[in-house]
Chain A
């Protein structure tokens, strides 16, 4: 069995009630915990794109992808390799900032990370940061010193580099030995 690592799966699904729970139930009943999940509509309002991060080894991620593909509301599934993709998530952080000295220190840190200050109040600052996970975790660690009051992340979204898209994935055999599912 190969090593367990973080994989990113992207799926195009029918934009209908119940589809997300079908997808998430599949992961739980196969024994996998979803590390991160992001869902949103696409340029076609009839379909949504789900991006899921999950810890699995290389063999099992293929099995999971094949299980996902069997679901009828799913149009296509693609494993988005970390090495050849653009990955971003948005983090909002509300940090305690009781004095102007602390505020300016936090603003300095925000500038270094190219985070935006979205809200300032007497006792706190709210920052927005877009980046890969390594970057968002780094700013989190530093700001822990100032007491993070609240933190929210959108979950990772990812696109493959180059002209390949999720839509042409199903046409090629290759990667998953993949043709059409028989109904």
Chain B
């Protein structure tokens, strides 16, 4: 059947099972939005306040569901406003398809109004991107883009479509998603020797080598990385950890990869890792990292990282092997598949003595209580007590992020939405909106700081308009807390440009957006506020006063040995 490019795009989204699109219209993408008007009821569009919010929302949708998120934007500034969102998704391997439109062919390359080379700009922050100049190729490209976004190590893909392509017609035949790999570009790509759709069956020899290393180990440590979360390999990973009887350290991206309350879990590892995790890393004789790329926030000093251990890396992306830390053995493959093969082969181990040593170090940080402000721990304890166990937690970036990840015990992959790799302040609200849209039955909270919240608080308008009841907790210390912490510890208390005592009144801000809010400075007020927010059932902002000099503890400096805590 012949149809316009805009209609082909809609049909392709339906082929992919897309039910929600986050976006923002504009001149060049008008044809697409015009067509979407006719698809009302089949595809829901969430109009955000800003394209960046839409990008984070699509990302939050993807992270919380494991499905591909979809985001629309127009050319020029619309497209460039996506850039931070795309980079955020890229660094955390989140599957999002970004669709932007560009000026028509006759205007291309002439510095036309709202023209920008977005495929050039996003080259290093997408798995791949496409400039669609021929309507006959559109369907094929969209199918390939979705497949690439979701398979292997997931990640963002951008499709930039010229405006004339959205108006021109081509023949379109719907193909069910299961058949896409047998058609067109995707089939050609898979036929090549270089790429494949599915993860390979792990090599027997590699599995046996690792099994023998595990049997020989007296002091093993596992790292649960983002790959366990993205690969939804919780069951296999947990069985693996329990079989080996090994302590498990968790990275920021790995939160939820194993139930946080599992007695084997030592907590976060790295810069703000627990003493138990970091000491275990330093003392172990075998380190098995699953879906972890040893970022500089985990392997702070690669040369001395787990220096006494044989290091094994299991990752779906071969380019990550040996990139940051030199390994002794590695297996390239899907976490669930590799771990289930290992589990079949391994007999239960016992490391009671080693565990006793590891857990003799602290797995929690204590904070001083009292004074006129709340402590991070008080806030997080109250939230954990009063909110449902399966609450989805979205964070921004900074101290509040580290506190939340240190304190909460996440139960399942996709429960924590946080910008780990790119560290995007302003990620949280958009992500929370996306997660709530995708998971209407779940409670979604947004943990933020006053600095992060100011960046993209405009999305409160989206919350209000679509009545997306997200509860925002502002850890309000009237400063850029994490930067101030470094200034406190490393820069001799020169608080250059980090004081935010001119912040807006967040309660009035919430009210200005048609939502409710309140400011709390002790536990009783906080508990009342949480009860009221839940009762209210719409967007709600709780501004929690905390001390300006509260720190994230423990802390190891960047580049330092993992047990050199500068604050404990």
List chain A positions with a Cβ less than 8 A from chain B: 18, 21-22, 25, 29, 59, 62-63, 66-67, 69-72, 74-76, 167, 170-171, 173, 177-183
Contact = CB atoms under 8 A, between A and B. Distances in A.
B566 interface: no
Nearest to B117: A18
B486 to A, nearest CB: 26
Contacts of A177: 318, 321, 330, 332
A63 B195 contact: no
Contacts of B152: 181-183
Interface in B253-282: none
B156 to A, nearest CB: 14
Interface stretch (B21-29, B84-92, B118-126, B289-297): B118-126
B148 interface: yes
Given A18-B119, A177-B332, A179-B332, A67 B319 contact: yes
A76 B124 contact: no
B184 interface: no
A75 B199 contact: no
A92 B283 CA distance: 61
9 contacts: A18-B131, A29-B124, A71-B128, A76-B193, A170-B193, A180-B196, A182-B152, A183-B148, A183-B152
B196 A63 contact: no
Nearest to A62: B322
A-B interface, 9 closest residue pairs, ranked by CB to CB distance from nearest: A182-B152, A170-B193, A180-B196, A183-B151, A66-B319, A183-B152, A72-B128, A67-B319, A181-B195
A180 B119 contact: no
A18 to B, nearest CB: 7
- Most chain B Cβ neighbours within 10 Å, of A170, A171, A178, A182: A182
A67 B195 CA distance: 13
Given A22-B123, A29-B124, A182 B196 contact: yes
Nearest to B200: A179
A142 to B, nearest CB: 43
Contact of A66 (B128, B195, B321): B321
Contact of A74 (B131, B194, B198, B330): B194
B151 A182 contact: yes
Contacts of B330: 177
Contact of B120 (A21, A63, A66, A70): A21
Interface residues of B, number: 35
Interface string B303-322: 00000000000001111011
- Do most interface residues of chain B lie in helix, strand or loop, or is the interface mixed? loop
Contacts of B148: 72, 183
Given A18-B131, A182-B197, 8 more contacts: A21-B123, A25-B123, A62-B322, A63-B322, A74-B194, A76-B193, A171-B193, A177-B332
B322 A180 contact: no
A70 B203 CA distance: 20
B194 A69 contact: yes
Interface string B139-173: 00000000110011100000000000000000000
A180 B193 contact: yes
A169 B322 CA distance: 21
Contacts of B203: 173
Contact of B194 (A62, A63, A75): A75
A167 B153 CA distance: 25
Interface string B432-452: 000000000000000000000
A183 B203 CA distance: 19
B194 A182 contact: no
B189 interface: yes
B123 A181 contact: no
A73 B119 CA distance: 15
B323 interface: yes
A171 B153 CA distance: 21
Given A179-B200, A182-B152, A182-B196, A63 B319 contact: yes
A183 B147 contact: yes
Nearest to B201: A179
- Most chain A Cβ neighbours within 10 Å, of B128, B151, B190, B199: B128
Contacts of A25: 123-124
Contacts of A183: 147-148, 151-152, 189-190, 195-197
B132 to A, nearest CB: 13
B147 A182 contact: no
Contacts of A173: 203
Contact of B192 (A22, A71, A75): A75
A180 B189 CA distance: 11
Nearest to B181: A183
A173 B332 CA distance: 12
B319 A180 contact: no
A59 B317 CA distance: 17
Given A21-B123, A72-B148, A177-B332, A182 B198 contact: yes
A22 B121 CA distance: 11
Contacts of A71: 128
Contacts of A21: 120, 123
B124 A72 contact: no
Interface in B81-133: 119-120, 123-124, 127-128, 131
A18 B119 CA distance: 9
Contacts of B322: 59, 62-63
A180 B190 CA distance: 9
A20 B157 CA distance: 19
- Most chain B Cβ neighbours within 10 Å, of A18, A29, A181: A181
A170 B191 CA distance: 12
A70 B90 CA distance: 14
Contacts of A70: 317, 319
- Most chain B Cβ neighbours within 10 Å, of A22, A72, A170: A72
B106 to A, nearest CB: 18
Contacts of B319: 63, 66-67, 69-70
A63 B319 CA distance: 6
Interface in B43-77: none
A183 B185 CA distance: 13
A21 B122 CA distance: 12
